[in-house]
Structure formats: C-alpha cells, structure tokens
Amino acid sequence: MKAIRIHEHGNREKLTIDELSIPAIQAEEVLIRVKAAALNHLDIWVRKGIPGISLPLIMGSDAAGVVEKVGSSVQALGKWKQGDEVIIAPIRSCGQCEYCLAGQENLCDAFKLPGEQTDGMQAEYVSVPQRFVFQKPENLDWSQAAAFPLVAMTAYHMLVRKITLKPNQWILVYGATSGVGSIAIQIAKDFGSRVITTVSDTDKAQIASKLGADFIINYKQEPIGKTVKKITGGRGVDIVFEHTGSQTWPDTLRSLRKSGKIVTCGATTGPHVRIDLRAIFIKHQQLIGSTMGTLADLSDILQWIALEKLRPLVDRSFDVKEVQAAHRYLEEGRHKGKVILNF
C-alpha cells in the first residue's frame, strides 16, 4: 500500500510516498481502506520538526474510508462489517485511566494524536481500535467527511465544554476560513452569539458571510483590536476564540471586555506572548487552554452534522501523489477551507 511518510524533518521534499505492507489488525481493531485524508497545520509542524517524534512516521490525523476487515472481538460485537463507510476519531487514549473512564480522553496521560505521536492516517489502509471508529454522515461526501473531525472536535470542546455560550454574546473568531475558525463561527451562531471574524481578502470575506459571521474584519486593511472596539461600541467582546498565537495577541487583549474569556488551542504564528497580569486580574478576565476534544464531543458533532447545523468547509482536493503541492498550498495560506488528499 502507499503511505505518506517522513524519514527526517525538513522541507516539503522530505515527504515521501512509500510502499508498505497492509497493516495486520488485532482482535479489537478495524482495517479501513482510506478514501480521503485531510491536511492540518499540524502536518506542517510535524514535517518541519516537533521534538520527541519517532521517525519514520506516517503523516496525518484525519481520514474517512470503508471498512475492509474487522478483528475477532469487533466481529463478536457485530458493530462493524466490511463495506461500512466510516470516519476516524483523530485521538488515541488508553481507555482505562480515570480520565478516559470519565469521558475526558484528551486529559489521558497516554493521549496521542495520529500523525504526531503515532503513525497517522495518510495511507491507503489503516488499522484503528474500534472505539475510535464512527459512522460516516450520509449527507457528507468523502472530502467533507475527512475534513471535520480534528477541527470540529477542537472548536466544539472550546466553545461548548470550556465556555458557556449564551445568546447575544460577542465573540471574536480568528481566521474565518481556517478549519477551526469556520466551525467555531457555525457553533457560535447556533448558540445565538454575535460573531466578529477576521479574513485577509474579499473572497474569504464572502465565505465568512455565508458561514454566518455578523461582522468581518480584513486585518490587512484595518486594525483588529480597534475595529472590534468600534463594532461593539467600545465594550469589547465576551469571548476571543484564539488559535493564532503571538502575532494577534495584542489585538486579543485589546478586544476583550471586562470579565471576558480567551479560549486558546493553538499558536500558529508563535507560542510566546506577553501578559500584564495586572490587566488580567483587575479586569476579571480569564485565559483558558484547550487541546483537541473527546469521543463524546465527536458524537455530538455528528448529530449536529446530521441536522445540518454544521457543515465542513472544503477548499481543494489533491491526489495523494501531489502531497508536496498540497503542503505548499496550505503553507502559503491560499486555502479557503480544508485541504484534502484523495486516495
């Protein structure tokens, strides 16, 4: 089978398409023939080099495909059979610790992301423990099905589990056409929030409007923090949905109202920021961290998708042989939604 791997960290040329054996499955596992896999910014960071990663490594966290074979324990349960169309949860956990038993898999000490701490999903066949396999939504095509799990679990956990969204709250969502940003806008609007979002051009502004954003700031033409204050009548937003990091941090602090909350899951432009603690405690503000989500989050998301309350935003699909071009497209920021690899 073909699999996208890196044998050493570096530029896009380090991505190789290797011929590997189809993985054997254990009793509790499912063998899945991958139809589509999604790129995330994580793929770029892993390729360039994250400390502690074992190489060679199959890339990618998100995929959707068809059940090819099931292990004996899975067959006894009667849950999956050959031909079933499925998606794969982009997390792995032990299933036995106090956190996993409480449905908090993202706090598990053995928590791993496929495509980072363990082999990923960008291969023709993958073996997956059956508890991380979910039915593919019938109203999504293969590209859409591969596009949403990681970003939707992340955004849902941030806004539903970590933050209590209320009607008429103001929320600033960075990156309207990013994976997590596009999902966050839809979730916030379903809760009745007033959404301000950011884009870099008019095409992305049109997409943000279709997603439901109430106000759109082109950050290349106007300052984010100052414009947010103007939109909100000087008040600021109740929530900042933050995943960009150091470059936007001054605007994040400037945009936040008294008693407001920053919920953050990433640092695309850099992890190191400066905080005046006096401003935080005097204004009763909160900074909340969040990583990925839980299996319960994914179950909820699937219900939202079935009800068409959420729709994955897909920009472009590449053939697996074009993986280097797909990475370049993502790195250059030209995407207006998720970038997909077709197997």
Tell me the two tokens of residue 158. 């941030």
Is the pLDDT reported for residue 105 higher than 90? Answer: yes
Tell me the three state secondary structure of residue 7: coil
**In angstroms, how far is the first alpha carbon of the chain from the final one?**
11
| d(C-alpha 220, C-alpha 335), whole Å | 17
Domain assignments of the chain as residue spans, ordered by start: 2-148+313-342, 153-289
Of 332, 317, 28, 319, the residue nearest 145 (C-alpha)? 317
207 and 230 Cβ atoms separated by less than 8 Å = no
**Residue 277, phi then psi, degrees to nearest 5:** -60, -30
Residues paired with 263 in a beta bridge: 241, 288
Of 161, 102, 109, the residue nearest 289 (C-alpha)? 161
Is the pLDDT reported for residue 111 higher than 90? Answer: yes
| d(C-alpha 110, C-alpha 46), whole Å | 19
- The mean of the pLDDT values for the chain is 96
Cis peptide before 56 (omega within 30 of 0): yes
Residues of the chain above pLDDT 90, percent = 93
Higher local confidence (pLDDT), 316 or 164: 316
| d(C-alpha 96, C-alpha 178), whole Å | 34
| d(C-alpha 255, C-alpha 226), whole Å | 7
Single-letter amino acid code for the residue at 259: S
What pLDDT is recorded for position 238?
98
Q: Taking the model in full, what pTM does it have?
A: 0.95
Tell me the three state secondary structure of residue 264: strand
Tell me the pLDDT tens digit for each residue of 49-75. 988 899 999 999 999 999 999 999 999
Fold of 2-148+313-342: Quinone Oxidoreductase; Chain A, domain 1 (3.90.180)
Range 113-130 average pLDDT: 97
| d(C-alpha 19, C-alpha 124), whole Å | 10
Of 123, 120, 181, 122, the residue nearest 155 (C-alpha)? 181
Single-letter amino acid code for the residue at 165: L
**Residue 168: other Cβ atoms inside 10 A:** 9
Which is it for the CA torsion 318, 324, 330, 335, positive or negative?
negative
For domain 153-289, give the CATH superfamily.
NAD(P)-binding Rossmann-like Domain (3.40.50.720)
153-289 matches 2-148+313-342 in CATH topology:
no
Tell me the three state secondary structure of residue 62: strand
Range 311-319 average pLDDT: 96
List the Cα angle 129/266/198 in 5-degree steps: 120
Which is it for the CA torsion 78, 82, 88, 92, positive or negative?
positive
Question: Per-residue confidence at 268, pLDDT binned at 50, 70, 90?
Answer: confident
Residues paired with 195 in a beta bridge: 171
Range 156-179 average pLDDT: 95
Gyration radius of the chain's alpha carbons: 20
Question: Per-residue confidence at 164, pLDDT binned at 50, 70, 90?
Answer: confident
User: Which residue shows structure tokens 């009667």?
Assistant: 78
Is the pLDDT reported for residue 290 higher than 90? Answer: yes
Range 144-153 average pLDDT: 98
Tell me the pLDDT tens digit for each residue of 195-247. 999 999 999 999 999 999 999 999 999 999 999 999 999 999 999 999 998 99
122 and 32 Cβ atoms separated by less than 8 Å = no
Tell me the two tokens of residue 338. 């998720």
Residues paired with 18 in a beta bridge: 3
340 and 36 Cβ atoms separated by less than 8 Å = yes
Strand (E) positions, 110-211?
A: 125-129, 133-135, 170-173, 194-199
Range 132-145 average pLDDT: 97
**Residue 216, phi then psi, degrees to nearest 5:** -125, 125
Question: Per-residue confidence at 139, pLDDT binned at 50, 70, 90?
Answer: very high
Is the pLDDT reported for residue 127 higher than 90? Answer: yes
